[in-house]
Amino acid sequence: MKSAGSFVDGPGVFLWVSLPGMDLSGSDRIFLEEMRPAGVVLFSENIGPPSSPDSLGRLRDLIREIRGVLAPVPVILAIDQEGGRVARLQDGVPKLPPMRELSRAGGIPEIFTAGYELGRALSSLDIDMDFAPVLDVDSNPDNPVIGDRSFSSDPELAFRYAMTFSQGLSLGGVVPCGKHFPGHGDTHLDSHFALPTVPDPMDVLLHREIHPFRRAVSWGIPALMTAHVMYPEIDQEWPATLSVKISETLLRKRLGFDGLLLSDDFKMAGLRDHFPLTVSVERSLLASCDGLLAMKSEDLARQMMEQLHLLSKGKPVWFEKRKTEAVTRLRRVLSMRESSKSWSS
């Protein structure tokens, strides 16, 4: 990985994208060169079927090619590898159960070991960041998207177990990214397909949904991901990803989080079907998101880049301030990754 100080001075510093296959095509190269994204997120289609010959070797080659196209600018390679039903990699990594099952079957040592072994495996593939752990509380048994991905229905245990897993990932060599702030556990809808609402009063939000995130911030979690969810007790107009009240005032100022803040995917219906893209891009930056995810859609990524360019020209002072903040946090994450690699080697 190149120096953490060499990020490009362009709008692409806010953009995180994905690619369609196991090999880097000519059009993929052009796309990367044009976007110059800060992050590339890996999915199952980049890896191949389980047990396919040399799938891990091809994945290493793909990662090497991605870095080569963007060199000398660094790029963060990330993946959703939680365990259970959210696991892009099937080979070459520990086959972890859902986090609810892991926490019930073992204790702190077992959870730490699971995170550490997963971190070691991802680091060996030259992956920088894992979109884990889930810090959401298992507060709604009918939740269609979180459920057994959560460590516990007890907010304090959800924090302890998630941070234990996070520390294992870090010492194993990858940067953890907790999700989905300020808590997706008490929804009845999946934000991939709708815009959920958590209507709970503020005291319940603080003591249940927000509690694991507040504690994780105090323990120094380096990165978090927002939720495309409405919390009308805090903000009646905007979901967390687009809410200054939630992601800037509450998370940054009240809880003191100064790490890397990523949006959830802009392609998800929780944003796409309810807010114009022009609004979502600007509002997410106003809400202090450092990275905007545009997954599985080159067209979406290009539209978002167009909006970022327009903001850079229309609001240059504000945009430059946000870009400086984002670059500082990206550099910190890459420095942590380099330190993690040295610890785990």
- In angstroms, rounded to a whole number, what is the distance separating the alpha carbons of residues 101 and 161? 12
- Cα dihedral 28, 65, 226, 305, rounded to 10, equals -40
- In angstroms, rounded to a whole number, what is the distance separating the alpha carbons of residues 95 and 114? 9
Q: 192 catalytic, yes or no?
A: yes
pLDDT for 4: 42
pLDDT for 5: 42
pLDDT for 3: 40
pLDDT for 10: 87
Q: pLDDT tens, 119-176?
A: 999 999 999 999 999 999 999 988 889 999 999 999 999 999 999 999 999 999 999 9
For the chain, give the percent of residues with pLDDT over 90: 89
Helix pair 316-344, 298-314: axis angle to 10 deg: 130
Q: What are phi and psi of 58, to 5 degrees?
A: -65, -35
Mean pLDDT of 261-280: 96
pLDDT for 8: 65
Q: pLDDT tens, 80-123?
A: 999 999 999 999 999 999 999 999 998 999 999 999 999 999 99
| Domain boundaries defined on the chain | 11-344
For the chain, give the percent of residues with pLDDT over 70: 97
pTM: 0.95
Q: pLDDT tens, 29-44?
A: 999 999 999 999 999 9
Give the active site residue among 154, 192, 258, 309. Answer: 192
Strand 175-176, strand 129-130: pairing = parallel
The token pair that represents 147 in the structure block = 């459920």
Q: What are phi and psi of 330, to 5 degrees?
A: -65, -45
Residue 225 pLDDT class (50, 70, 90 cuts): very high
Mean pLDDT of the chain: 94
Distance of CA 81 to the CA centre of its chain: 11
Give the active site residue among 235, 264, 265, 290. Answer: 264
Fold of the domain spanning 11-344: TIM Barrel (3.20.20)
